[in-house]
Amino acid sequence: MLAGRRAAVIALAIGVITAGAGAVGLTLTRHPVATRWDTVAALPAPTPPAPTPPALTLPAPTGPIVPVRRSPATEVARPVTLTIPSIGVQAPLVTLGLTASGALQVPSSTAVAGWYTGSPRPGAVGSAVIAGHIDSRAGPGVFFRLSQLRPNDRVYVRRADGTLAEFRVTAVQTYAKDHFLTLAVYGPAPDPELRLITCGGTFDPGTRAYLSNVVVYAVGTGAQG
């Protein structure tokens, strides 16, 4: 079911804002030939207050780390917070769905990240997708340092039942938005995996948008059959 829902997703892009610009965010578009990440659309929400730049590092969160599940029939609790100690991220997770026009809803604040409900819950089998802003005209966003992650860094998602899902970073890639590898990001995964997505690369002042997307790939630790 998840694979079918993921196949229906044609494109997804996270945006940013710059001086004098309104917030921009993730957009889903439909293309008759191939899928790709496309131009972002303006958010109607007002510009949020300037976030506090994240600390350089944070301690790992405490609590029971539950081994991730390989069975697609195993339900896990919804995600509520995201912690990435090595880049100082500790943020609430909001839920992101689709608008009536087919666009992905985006966090209204650059200080939070969002879990796309069309993807698996973090810790369930498949590729869970979490997106966040890189910055705004007010300052750094929650994923300002996302591109600084390195293989073997840890990512933690706390769930509503108090448990933690732990993930290990395997790769950090930057894709031009017109050459985004949709299948690699949204394609089927045999185990619980995580994708963290934001904007990056060169900023185009003409379109007031970054030309690329940064994607962090991570796999669940302690997977069990």
> What is the per-residue pLDDT for 99?
73
What is the percent of the chain where pLDDT is above 90? 45
Q: List the domain range (segments joined by +) for residue 153.
A: 12-220
CATH number at residue 41: 2.40.260.10
Mean pLDDT throughout 104-130?
90
The reply to whether 7 falls in a domain is: no
Query: Stretch 82-106: mean pLDDT, rounded?
Result: 87
Kindly state whether residue 3 falls inside one of the protein's structural domains.
no
Q: How many domains does the chain have?
A: 1
In a domain, 100, yes or no: yes
Instruction: Give the Cα separation of 110 and 103 in Å (integer).
Output: 18
User: How many Å apart are CA 6 and CA 190, to the nearest integer?
Assistant: 14
Q: Is residue 1 assigned to a domain? A: no
156-198 per-position pLDDT tens digit: 999 999 999 999 999 999 988 887 777 777 778 899 999 999 9
Residue 2 placed within a domain: no
Residue 5, domain member (yes or no)? no
**Which residue in the block uniquely carries the two structure tokens 């185009």?**
204
The pLDDT of residue 44 is above 50: no
**pTM recorded for the entire structure:** 0.72
- Domain-embedded: residue 6: no
With respect to residue 4, please indicate whether it lies within any of the assigned structural domains: no
Whether pLDDT at 74 is above 70: no
Does the pLDDT at position 105 exceed 80? Answer: no
Report whether pLDDT(143) > 60.
Answer: yes
- Is the per-residue pLDDT at 110 higher than 60? yes
Which conformational region is residue 62 in: left (phi greater than 0), alpha (psi within -120 to 50 degrees), or beta?
Answer: beta
- Segment among 53-67, 79-93, 108-122, 144-158 with least mean pLDDT: 53-67
